[in-house]
């Protein structure tokens, strides 16, 4: 690291700019020394449209200047300030007017600029000078004249010759050029290694133009959207009048004008009286979980309008609630003014799978370019701490190196130029040094295929056999074929080097960064179903939730069907319902008893579970019933289950009918819903605040309790408060802790439906009695009891969980819906560690990361030693401190390199801290010293300063690596910005980009950490401390690319 000057120490922003200059080795100024003036003079300018020859604006006399890179005209009454600049790379051709020798034309992609000189000789001189410079930018480079000539030029000449001959052969076969919808900066559409892409080239002005001849099956629909679906979704770019429902009880629905932007990135709305859309009133479409037709949300229930139910729909998305303490689903509820408009929105809704940077670009202007002022605003929204002078300087540099012309005055940027600006902010640090260390043949332009292959083998742990010529060429073409302006910048405005960069397959630094952030360089193995799903249910960990109906606090929170939907869509396979006697509209209610939580209707919850149970996974869903109902209502519950669930409900016990000794497998129970419950002849039930229809003589009251009066119960106002969407319940007077006992016999109808998960209780607890129970019976333990059994009897608990299911749940004093550490429970083999899904704390992050394995199906196969503990020669214990002979240990090292966009949008951060920890059995828990930095947009760390190193992780199958980033604002405590939890064995060694997620688990597009991961697996013999390396390189299953929004990070 170079020493900072006194000026840099006083101004960190100046230090940033100077570091960019030092890293490039040249002067980055608006007046590039390679730009030389050639000719200047006054010309009359007229602009016309190319397709219909319509004139755009009047004819005006301007002062023009021709340089070695562009033709510009200056501000009026100024000989210095440039008003507009037209790069010569954007000029298609120069034409002379045969009728008027003083007139010549510059032809662009969409427009034609007609220029008139003062004399025919002056016009001829202008045309000749423009053609001379234009030819330099469009000429084929001659290798013999190249100062960059290397031993690979012969191969380059041969390749160009082959392409030229192929183009000549295909001249008569003019196929339609398909516009590639892949984002200019995104890697989410990268083609698969085994997919077949056939390209056809034609030679035009010395440049290679690609024509797509055949698309791979996975990209076929995406590449043809422009043609096959254009009529459907282009209609949505027009404005539609709709009724938008507010999310406040005291507000009423109002008419709004809605439309989707041209790139299908946002849905925007405004009042009919406003002249333009405000970008703060938008919903990014990539955040939408579901399009729900009809009036099926609670806000529709506040203001029902059943006559237009067929014209209503909702866009469901996730958002933070109560200041970020909880997370839940929200909705944008709309009613179309015409059935045809409703059909257009439902059928034409199309989500463009492009990059996060393009989404930010579209928030500032719904056009193909940004003015200098809008670019400044967007740059400060991304990086609020950026210096104004530095920002203006970088915008001028990006504008100078653009390949396309602009229509705005000043230093306007098109999309390609904006990517140059963004990459300029990144052009320094260890990543650039790493890039330069491999770029030998063309140091300023990029990596060749051989150099890129060497980087993948040495830095990313790729196998040499995976680095085939075809694979490397496809990845380089994908990540770099849109970065033309950056190639011009890398060539330092020298035409010959620019043509080398455009014709020779090279990976520029911008493409290099795009590769590092893409799914080609995935941090973990793909989350696909790879495990054996034919084992008994007791051999799997099951994703479970506690009090699933709650959206917040345990005492006064809101109950909602949306909470069940969110849990099921996140892969939860065990959900809970608390059933109580009700009245009025619903005989059975679901809520947290003895509290002020709102109430749900039983039938609405069951229908919701049925509708969403198998959206994410086809493997069985377990409904844990906490039963507080009378025998009459239990019989009613059984009837509802049979009528609503139908064949989906599991009613046959294969253990009893076939005499099995093991539970059935998840594969055998696919598409089934299993009931779990406890049933006794004497049922303890609390006095419900709505038990007005049940005679009090049926209860034996042990203590005095007070409920609301009959007048309150029968009032219309309170009657309307009870609904299937969980509206506010009437306030109850506090009761004593004593319970009432209901002595009537329980009907058997509901008990017969519980076949595999019959929860029983053994008091006092006895392991000998536990071993006598059936495999169809299971146990539920509270958090304190479960912790006690794990610490004092881990071997007995492992033996129990090998044949029977065990569920744990949070202790009753966690009123704020906080969670507990599930890793110890998993270490002892407990299957269903129920957590509060609405609380996005660290333990919930661990649960999400753990169950992303196995395709996120909600079932994770236990380690072999936990499934065969009785057959192992050495007992496994979650409290072991030495390596187990049957478990390979792992040595892990993670070095922190840098970060990207580690601050919220439009928020200025003072500093940030990065934590890297491992969680698992007690011996595997450790943490790296906290890494801090004062730049949240672009933090860089010195080599070897922050390294997480851990030798001999004893139980790698249960070990989770947890990344956490906190930001500090000018006031207040540090706040979580992003996190990610990855299973240890799925980590891929090498230089990786770890994407960050929100507290709720959604991907934060564009934000993440660059790290270098080193991982080595070893096996130790019993009593031997040394380890022999087994495997350092992993296979490359992630070469099969998928166009996935979650993996689109660029």
pLDDT band at 972 (very low <50, low <70, confident <90, very high): confident
Alpha-carbon gap, residue 327 to 877, rounded angstroms: 36
Angle CA(284)–CA(285)–CA(286) in degrees, nearest 5? 95
Q: How many CB atoms lie within 10 A of CB 805?
A: 28
Between residues 336 and 264, the one the model is more confident about: 336
Whether the link from the prior residue into 764 is cis, omega within 30° of 0, is: yes
Looking at the predicted structure, is the pLDDT value of residue 146 above 60? no
Between residues 729 and 10, the one the model is more confident about: 10
Helix-, strand-, coil-residue percentages of the chain, each rounded to 5: 30, 25, 45
How far from 311 is each of 136, 307, 342, 804, 989, CA to CA, in Å?
59, 9, 5, 50, 52
pTM over 0.85, yes/no: no
What is the β-pairing status of strands 369-370 and 326-336? unpaired
For tokens 């060429």, name the residue: 473
- Lowest-pLDDT choice from 310-314, 488-492, 989-993: 488-492
DSSP letter string, 1000-1031: TS-EEEEEEEEEEEEEEEEE--TT----EEEE
Between residues 560 and 525, the one the model is more confident about: 560
Alpha-carbon gap, residue 630 to 684, rounded angstroms: 10
- Lowest-pLDDT choice from 204-218, 303-317, 406-420, 492-506: 204-218
pLDDT band at 588 (very low <50, low <70, confident <90, very high): very high
DSSP letter string, 168-198: HHTSS-----PPP-S-TT--TTPPPSSS--E
Looking at the predicted structure, is the pLDDT value of residue 867 above 60? yes
Average pLDDT for residues 147-168, to the nearest whole number? 43
Q: Are 620 and 735 in contact (CB under 8 A)?
A: no
Provide the pLDDT for residue 820.
Answer: 95
Question: Per-residue b/e over 466-483, b at no fewer than 16 CB within 10 Å?
Answer: bbeeebbebbbbbbbbbb
Q: What is the DSSP letter of 828?
A: T
Where would I find the H helices in 481-630?
A: 484-490, 495-503, 509-517, 561-569, 602-612
Q: Are 179 and 226 in contact (CB under 8 A)?
A: yes
Alpha-carbon gap, residue 459 to 453, rounded angstroms: 10
H/E stretch holding 167: helix 153-169
- Which one of 286, 482, 483, 546 is the catalytic residue? 546
pLDDT band at 3 (very low <50, low <70, confident <90, very high): very low
Provide the pLDDT for residue 909.
Answer: 80
Alpha-carbon gap, residue 787 to 543, rounded angstroms: 19
pLDDT band at 959 (very low <50, low <70, confident <90, very high): very high
Active site residue 592: yes
Quote the mean pLDDT of the chain: 76
How far from 727 is each of 194, 249, 302, 305, 322, CA to CA, in Å?
53, 11, 9, 18, 17
Alpha-carbon gap, residue 630 to 694, rounded angstroms: 9
856: alpha, beta or left? (left if phi > 0; alpha if psi -120 to 50)? left
Alpha-carbon gap, residue 975 to 457, rounded angstroms: 38
Provide the pLDDT for residue 935.
Answer: 78
Burial of 732 (0-12, 13-18, 19+ CB in 10 A): middle
State pLDDT tens for residues 883-928. 998 899 999 999 999 998 888 776 778 889 999 999 999 999 998 8
Between residues 709 and 474, the one the model is more confident about: 474
Percentage of residues of the chain with pLDDT beyond 90: 33
Provide the pLDDT for residue 26.
Answer: 37
Looking at the predicted structure, is the pLDDT value of residue 688 above 50? no
Alpha-carbon gap, residue 1010 to 940, rounded angstroms: 10
Looking at the predicted structure, is the pLDDT value of residue 256 above 70? yes
Where would I find the H helices in 91-119?
A: none
Let me know how many helices (H) and strands (E) the chain has, helices first: 32, 42
Q: Are 568 and 856 in contact (CB under 8 A)?
A: no
Provide the pLDDT for residue 680.
Answer: 53
State pLDDT tens for residues 490-520. 887 788 788 887 888 889 888 898 899 888 8
Alpha-carbon gap, residue 336 to 351, rounded angstroms: 20
Alpha-carbon gap, residue 887 to 870, rounded angstroms: 15
Provide the pLDDT for residue 536.
Answer: 94
Provide the pLDDT for residue 278.
Answer: 61
pLDDT band at 620 (very low <50, low <70, confident <90, very high): very high
Beta strands in 230-311 (DSSP E): 240-244, 254-260, 266-270, 282-284, 288-293
State pLDDT tens for residues 741-798. 333 444 568 888 999 999 988 888 888 888 888 999 999 999 999 999 999 999 999 9
Looking at the predicted structure, is the pLDDT value of residue 397 above 90? no
Average pLDDT for residues 987-1012, to the nearest whole number? 91
Alpha-carbon gap, residue 810 to 808, rounded angstroms: 7
Q: Is the dihedral of CA 298, 299, 304, 307 positive or negative?
A: negative
Alpha-carbon gap, residue 745 to 682, rounded angstroms: 7
Q: Are 422 and 442 in contact (CB under 8 A)?
A: no
Structure tokens at 125: 């001189």
- HSE-CB of 776 using CA atoms within 13 angstroms: 19
What is the β-pairing status of strands 198-204 and 111-116? unpaired
Packed helices 429-438 and 449-459: angle between N→C axes, nearest 10 degrees: 120
For tokens 């709650």, name the residue: 550
pLDDT band at 1045 (very low <50, low <70, confident <90, very high): very low
- HSE-CB of 219 using CA atoms within 13 angstroms: 25
Q: Is the dihedral of CA 769, 771, 774, 778 positive or negative?
A: positive
Active site residue 482: no
- Which one of 266, 483, 592, 640 is the catalytic residue? 592
Looking at the predicted structure, is the pLDDT value of residue 218 above 50? no
Q: Are 998 and 975 in contact (CB under 8 A)?
A: no
The number of residues in the chain equals 1050
């Amino acid at each position: 690291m170079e020493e900072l000057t006194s000026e840099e120490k006083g101004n960190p922003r100046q230090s940033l700019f100077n570091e960019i200059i030092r890293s490039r080795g040249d002067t980055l100024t608006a007046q590039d020394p390679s730009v030389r003036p050639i000719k200047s003079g006054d010309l009359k300018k007229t602009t016309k449209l190319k397709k219909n020859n319509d004139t755009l604006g009047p004819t005006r006399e301007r002062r023009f200047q021709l340089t070695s890179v562009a033709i510009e005209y200056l501000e009026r009454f100024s000989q210095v300030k440039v008003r507009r600049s037209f790069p010569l790379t954007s000029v298609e051709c120069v034409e002379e007017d045969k009728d008027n020798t003083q007139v010549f034309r510059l032809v662009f992609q969409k427009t034609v600029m007609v220029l008139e000189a003062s004399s025919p000789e002056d016009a001829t001189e202008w045309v000749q000078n423009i053609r001379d410079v234009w030819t330099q930018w469009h000429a084929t480079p001659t290798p013999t004249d190249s100062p960059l000539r290397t031993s690979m030029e012969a191969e380059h000449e041969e390749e160009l010759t082959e392409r030229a001959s192929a183009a000549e052969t295909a001249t008569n076969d003019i196929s339609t050029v398909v516009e590639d919808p892949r984002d200019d900066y995104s890697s989410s559409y990268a083609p698969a290694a085994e997919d077949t892409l056939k390209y056809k080239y034609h030679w035009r002005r010395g440049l290679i133009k690609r024509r797509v001849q055949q698309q791979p099956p996975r990209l076929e629909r995406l590449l043809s959207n422009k043609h096959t679906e254009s009529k459907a979704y282009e209609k949505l770019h027009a404005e539609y009048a709709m009724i938008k429902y507010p999310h406040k009880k005291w507000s009423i629905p109002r008419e709004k004008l809605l439309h989707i932007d041209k790139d299908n990135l946002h849905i925007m709305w405004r009042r009919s009286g406003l002249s333009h859309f405000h970008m703060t009133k938008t919903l990014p479409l990539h955040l939408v979980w579901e399009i729900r037709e009809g009036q099926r949300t609670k806000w529709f229930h506040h203001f029902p309008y059943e006559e237009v139910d067929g014209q209503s729909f909702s866009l469901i998305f996730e958002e933070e609630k109560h200041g970020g303490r909880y997370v839940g689903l929200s909705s944008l509820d709309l009613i179309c003014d015409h059935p045809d408009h409703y059909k257009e929105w439902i059928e034409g809704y199309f989500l463009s799978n492009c990059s996060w940077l393009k989404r930010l670009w579209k928030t500032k202007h719904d056009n193909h370019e940004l003015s200098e002022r809008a670019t400044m605003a967007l740059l400060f929204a991304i990086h609020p701490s950026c210096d104004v002078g530095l920002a203006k300087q970088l915008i001028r540099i990006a504008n100078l190196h653009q390949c396309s012309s602009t229509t705005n005055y000043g230093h306007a940027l098109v999309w390609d130029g904006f990517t140059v600006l963004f990459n300029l902010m990144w052009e320094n640090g260890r990543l650039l040094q790493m890039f330069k260390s491999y770029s030998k043949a063309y140091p300023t332009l990029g990596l060749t295929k051989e150099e890129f292959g060497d980087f993948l083998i040495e830095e990313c742990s790729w196998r040499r056999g995976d680095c085939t010529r075809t694979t490397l060429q496809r990845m380089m073409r994908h990540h770099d074929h849109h970065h033309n302006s950056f190639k011009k910048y890398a060539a330092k405005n020298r035409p010959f080097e620019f043509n080398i960069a455009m014709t020779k397959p090279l990976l520029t630094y911008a493409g290099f960064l795009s590769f590092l952030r893409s799914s080609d360089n995935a941090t973990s193995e793909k989350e696909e179903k790879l495990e054996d799903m034919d084992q008994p249910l007791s051999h799997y960990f099951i994703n479970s939730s506690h009090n699933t109906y709650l959206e917040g606090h345990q005492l006064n929170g809101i109950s909602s069907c949306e909470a069940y939907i969110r849990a099921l869509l996140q892969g939860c396979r065990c959900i809970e319902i608390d059933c109580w006697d009700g009245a009025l509209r619903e005989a059975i209610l679901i809520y947290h008893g003895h509290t002020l939580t709102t109430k749900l209707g039983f039938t609405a919850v069951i229908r919701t579970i049925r509708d969403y149970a198998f959206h994410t996974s086809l493997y069985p869903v377990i409904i844990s019933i906490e039963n507080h109902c009378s025998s009459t209502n239990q019989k009613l519950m059984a009837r509802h289950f049979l009528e609503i669930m139908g064949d989906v409900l599991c009613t046959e016990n294969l253990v009893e009918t076939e005499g099995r000794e093991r539970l059935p497998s998840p594969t055998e129970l696919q598409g089934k819903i299993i009931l779990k419950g406890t049933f006794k002849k004497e049922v303890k039930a609390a006095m419900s605040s709505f038990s007005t229809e049940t005679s009090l003589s049926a209860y034996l009251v042990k203590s005095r309790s007070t409920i609301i009066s009959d007048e309150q119960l029968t009032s219309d106002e309170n009657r309307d408060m009870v609904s299937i969407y969980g509206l506010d319940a009437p306030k109850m007077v506090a009761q004593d802790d004593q319970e009432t006992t209901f002595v009537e016999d329980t009907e058997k109808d509901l008990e017969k439906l519980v076949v595999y998960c019959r929860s029983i209780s053994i008091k006092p607890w006895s392991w000998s009695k536990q071993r006598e129970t059936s495999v169809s019976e299971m146990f539920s333990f509270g958090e304190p009891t479960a912790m006690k059994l794990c610490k004092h009897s881990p071997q007995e608990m492992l033996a129990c969980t090998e044949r029977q299911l065990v569920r744990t749940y949070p202790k009753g004093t966690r009123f704020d819906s906080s969670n507990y550490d599930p890793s110890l429970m998993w270490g002892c083999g407990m299957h269903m560690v129920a957590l509060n899904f609405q609380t996005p704390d660290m333990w919930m992050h661990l649960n999400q990361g753990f169950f992303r394995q196995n395709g996120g199906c909600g079932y994770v196969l236990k380690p072999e030693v936990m499934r065969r503990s009785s057959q192992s020669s050495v007992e496994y214990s979650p409290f072991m401190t030495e390596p187990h002979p049957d478990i390979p240990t792992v040595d892990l090292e993670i070095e922190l390199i840098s970060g990207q966009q580690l601050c919220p949008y439009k928020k200025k951060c003072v500093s940030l801290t990065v934590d890297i920890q491992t969680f698992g059995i007690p011996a595997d828990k450790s943490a790296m010293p906290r890494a801090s930095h004062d730049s949240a947009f672009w933090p860089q760390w010195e080599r070897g300063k922050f390294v997480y190193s851990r030798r001999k992780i004893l139980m790698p199958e249960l070990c989770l690596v947890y990344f956490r980033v906190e930001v500090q604002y000018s006031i207040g405590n540090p706040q979580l910005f992003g996190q990610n939890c990855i299973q240890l064995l799925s980590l891929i060694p090498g230089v990786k980009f770890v994407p960050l997620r929100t507290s709720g688990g959604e991907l934060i597009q564009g934000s993440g950490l660059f790290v270098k991961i080193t991982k080595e697996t070893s096996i130790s013999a019993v009593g031997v401390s040394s380890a022999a390396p087994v495997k350092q390189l992993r296979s490359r299953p992630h070469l099969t690319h998928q166009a996935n929004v979650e993996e689109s990070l660029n």
